[in-house]
Amino acid sequence: MDRILIRGGNRLSGRIAISGAKNSALTLMPCALLTDEPLTLRNLPRLADVDSFGHLLNQFGVSTMIEGGRPTDFGRVMTMRAANLTSTVAPYDIVRKMRASILVLGPLLARMGEATVSLPGGCAIGNRPIDLHLKALEAMGAEIELAAGYVKATAPGGRLPGGTFRFPVVSVGATENALMAAVTARGTTVLENAAREPEIVDLCNLLVAMGASIRGIGSETLEIEGRERLHGATYAVMPDRIEAGSYACAAAITGGDLELVGANAGDMRATLDALIEAGVTVEETHDAVRIAAGAPLKPLTLSTAPFPGFATDMQAQFMAMLCKAEGASVLTETIFENRYMHVPELARMGANIEVHGRTAVVRGSVKLVGAPVMATDLRASMSLILAGLAAEGETQVARIYHLDRGYERLEEKLQGVGADIERVGDG
């Protein structure tokens, strides 16, 4: 199994191209199920999760074609066509690999009037039930049955009537599933307390490009007027705000200066605000966001929250960065209850972190030292990379298949800005 080796201490400087957003790509791809016409997605990141989702779509009879280009190119163009769906069953052996697979439930139900989807897998970062997905679909007229580890949903008469649902708590995935189910309903659907993440806006914009009628895009109330059918479209995936934030932390922890080319500052405002509070210089240019570390980092008090708050997907990276801050920082995780699994691995490298329930106290100004560490989930793996970049000596990060799920050619991008990093096999 591959590992990543990092010899730390180098100051990072230069330009890094930000890839298409993983979290958006996995939401846009199932939209191919909503039409029999081609859907072409540009700026699609080269990631294991994207490949897995493509295989899942193939399971339903969707053809997928990737345009030519060198294997070393970043980003891809994929055309998907669901001219004739041959199955409405998403099997366990595919779905278990990633939680985003549940997002085929809404569009399959909308297109075919039925869907049978295995309960999902993905990162082990806490209990992430799909009850809100199912309750939203039921409010729109779906009949739901759970049996033998599968969700079976049917639309009476073959088409959902639509309805009104208020999410008791904000849920990105449930909002996405409900949106895709609603766009071809017979009537109007209103989603209240809907998620407002940029990835939700990206999904809405694609659906509108396919002929959907959605009002309130970017707000907490979405009104969807069902259409008889949607058509194909060509659409570019938004830049990855979490990847951009991760590389911003890399600049900060190494005392570096990086231009994040293509990053959208508006999508990552909470991350940038936190970096500024920590004493990092943030500058928006015509094609990039520049991150420059100057004076020693200042400690922070941060709490994760739904957008526009501080993203839970940035918590682990900031924890690593704050190991170099002068003073004690306090991080509170409000989204997932088991997202501090990287703390023992950071401690192996010299980090001083105390966890009390959902709160972690990071005592900075420590000397980080390279060590063998093991990734536990996608964002935790990036926190170990960041610590390795700032550590003395060599860090070995194992189980990097987590990284490959969410960061496109990470070591190549970091090598390009001065990091001493490489991927090696066990052989």
**Structural domains of the chain ordered from first start:** 3-19+239-424 (3.65.10.10), 22-227 (3.65.10.10)
Kindly tell me the burial class for residue 43, based on how many C-beta atoms sit within 10 Å of its own C-beta (0-12, 13-18, 19 or more): buried
φ/ψ of residue 304, rounded to 5: -70, 150
Annotated binding residues, written as ranges, equal: 22-23, 99, 128-132, 313, 335
Annotated binding residues for phosphoenolpyruvate, written as ranges, equal: 22-23
pLDDT at 239 over 50: yes
Percent with pLDDT over 90 in the chain? 84
Say how far apart CA 49 and CA 113 lie, in whole Å: 27
* Confidence at residue 69, expressed as pLDDT on a 0 to 100 scale: 58
Annotated binding residues for UDP-N-acetyl-alpha-D-glucosamine, written as ranges, equal: 99, 128-132, 313, 335
pLDDT tens digit sequence for 306-339:
999 999 999 999 999 999 999 999 999 998 766 7
> For 89, how many CA atoms within 13 A lie in the half-sphere containing its CB?
5
How close are the terminal C-alpha atoms of the chain, in Å?
Answer: 8
Q: How does DSSP classify residue 365?
A: S
pLDDT at 52 over 60: yes
Say how far apart CA 104 and CA 207 lie, in whole Å: 15
* Confidence at residue 121, expressed as pLDDT on a 0 to 100 scale: 53
Residue 162 has which token pair? 């639509």
pLDDT tens digit sequence for 108-151:
999 999 999 998 754 343 444 789 999 999 999 999 998 888 99
Mean per-residue pLDDT over the chain, rounded: 93
* Confidence at residue 126, expressed as pLDDT on a 0 to 100 scale: 41
**pLDDT-based confidence at residue 74 (cuts at 50, 70, 90):** low
Say how far apart CA 186 and CA 33 lie, in whole Å: 18
Give the residue numbers annotated as catalytic, written as ranges. 123
Of the two residues 261 and 380, the one the predictor is more confident about is: 261
Assign 3-class secondary structure to 376-426.
CCHHHHHHHHHHHHHCECEEEEECCHHHHCCCCCHHHHHHCCCCEEEEECC
Determine the distance from the C-alpha atom of residue 335 to the mean position of all C-alpha atoms in its chain, rounded to a whole number. Answer: 14
Are the C-beta atoms of 254 and 285 separated by less than 8 Å? Answer: no
Are the C-beta atoms of 322 and 249 separated by less than 8 Å? Answer: no
Say how far apart CA 316 and CA 319 lie, in whole Å: 5
Q: How does DSSP classify residue 167?
A: -
* Confidence at residue 427, expressed as pLDDT on a 0 to 100 scale: 55
Of the two residues 379 and 227, the one the predictor is more confident about is: 227
Cis peptide before 308 (omega within 30 of 0): yes
Are the C-beta atoms of 286 and 350 separated by less than 8 Å? Answer: no
Percent with pLDDT over 70 in the chain? 96
248 Cβ partners below 8 Å, 6+ apart?
A: 258, 260, 271, 272, 275, 280, 289, 291
Q: How does DSSP classify residue 18?
A: P
pLDDT at 342 over 80: yes
**pLDDT-based confidence at residue 263 (cuts at 50, 70, 90):** very high
Determine the distance from the C-alpha atom of residue 136 to the mean position of all C-alpha atoms in its chain, rounded to a whole number. Answer: 22
Q: Is the sign of the CA dihedral 122, 128, 131, 137 positive or negative?
A: negative
pLDDT at 274 over 80: yes
Q: What is the mean pLDDT of residues 3-7?
A: 97
Q: Which ranges of 71-171 would DSSP assign to H, the alpha helix? A: 92-95, 105-112, 131-139
Closest-CA residue to 42 (of 213, 265, 239): 239
**Residue 369 host element (H or E):** none
Closest-CA residue to 201 (of 227, 181, 172, 230): 172
